[in-house]
Amino acid sequence: MFSRDRWDEILEALNANKFRTFLTAFGVFWGITILVLLLALTNGLKNGVTADFGDFATNSMFMWTRGTSKPYKGLPKGRNFNYKINDIAAIKSEIPNLKYVSPRNQLGGYNGANNVTRGTKTGAFEIYGDYPEFINQQPLDILQGRFISYSDIDAKRKICVIGTGVEKGLYDKGEAVLGTYVKINGVNFLVVGTFKMSNSQGDDEQDASTIYIPFTTFGQAFNRGEDVGWMAITAVDDVSITSLKQQVFDLMKFRHKVDPTDDRAIGHFDLSEQFGRVNGLFSILSLVGYFVGALVLMSGIIGISNIMLIVVKERTKEIGVRRALGASPWNIKSQILQESLILTILSGMVGISFSAFVVWVMNAILDNVGPVQNFANPSVDISVIVIALIILVVSGLLAGLIPANSATKMKPVDALRIE
């Protein structure tokens, strides 16, 4: 279909009126540029917002206790209660499809007082009592040594794993960390590992100002006994935590003598639901991107169709001559179709390259000024480009269809008579 002669024909025709060809092409160029840029920006927004979720296993929820709001079984309302360590085993045994149930305790926190000392250096850090599987819920990069193990839990060893922020605050540069002791609230802990947040984006510093110690040690050293501050619960991959959480709440209410209808008593944050909501939001945003981009592109395509109609009109006589010389209707049609196709694809390619360049510039600027709130790494993946190209080809054909038909509608004798 595309022989060299055909190429020559098409290029000659497009070259015959360069300015008009350029203006026509610009419509499609602009449409595809806007389409790709919209999708890239949506992607950037999505990357930025999902980075805030960190790497935490998304099919998870956090659950804590609040005061009861209803009296029940002779117990007054406004009663505080705590989860106990044996709740964990109960949840694990009674509710299937849960992957991890991690009890957690916490000391210190945002803007907390200094709670860790080493020699003359002190710092305010977040101290977590955790189980070994917590690292599967919150991925950490262990830089040196190891994470908490079950023998630490069983023996209630006073060991700790510290973040890079802690290391920076308590140690001199290049100082050996493993095997040293830090004093947390007056209790000495042996440092057995260091970590940083995997793929952390934004406030690394704060993320890594964290110390993990065995959950059992935490309870003993800081007088928590059997109490569990809160839990991080992750469901297996193909079951949503959202569908399981009510069972967990019911079990907890039963075990702690809370009115089954008392929804205030248990606080929770459903990461999966939030994540799903954000994901849904971005699916809609991409859809809007496609929609708006496609509409802008469509006006470009209508422009091409329009110009091709004028071109056909102007060349009515030429088309008549060609038919007198032996061009079949299909010869004429396919030439018009190919002209519009090439015009569309060519200008679309330029548009894609241009928007890719703009995205590259945006990324370069972002790299230079550092992270921006809720926006990171605007990009379009190859599938978007492929879709854009398919849209271009289809629309190029559509744009040429009406003009191509009108080109051969007129009888050659009438076409020749036109001056």
Binding site for other proteins (CB under 8 A): 4-5, 12-13, 15-16, 317-318, 320-331, 408, 411-413, 416, 419
Query: Pairing mode, if any, of strands 98-107 and 140-145?
Result: unpaired
Nearer to other proteins, 12 or 175 (CB): 12
CB of 414 to other proteins, least distance (A): 9
CB of 9 to other proteins, least distance (A): 8
Nearer to other proteins, 236 or 327 (CB): 327
Nearer to other proteins, 190 or 324 (CB): 324
CB of 388 to other proteins, least distance (A): 32
CB of 12 to other proteins, least distance (A): 6
CB of 400 to other proteins, least distance (A): 19
Nearer to other proteins, 17 or 106 (CB): 17
Nearer to other proteins, 24 or 408 (CB): 408
**In whole angstroms, what is the distance from residue 221 CA to residue 241 CA?**
33
CB of 334 to other proteins, least distance (A): 12
CB of 408 to other proteins, least distance (A): 7
Query: Pairing mode, if any, of strands 121-123 and 98-107?
Result: unpaired
Nearer to other proteins, 153 or 327 (CB): 327
- Tokens representing residue 35 in the block: 């389409």
Nearer to other proteins, 152 or 339 (CB): 339
Nearer to other proteins, 387 or 416 (CB): 416
CB 320 within 8 A of CB 412: yes
CB of 6 to other proteins, least distance (A): 10
The residue behind tokens 């694809």 is: 345
Give strand pairing partners of 346. Answer: none
**In whole angstroms, what is the distance from residue 415 CA to residue 419 CA?**
9
CB of 401 to other proteins, least distance (A): 18
Nearer to other proteins, 201 or 331 (CB): 331
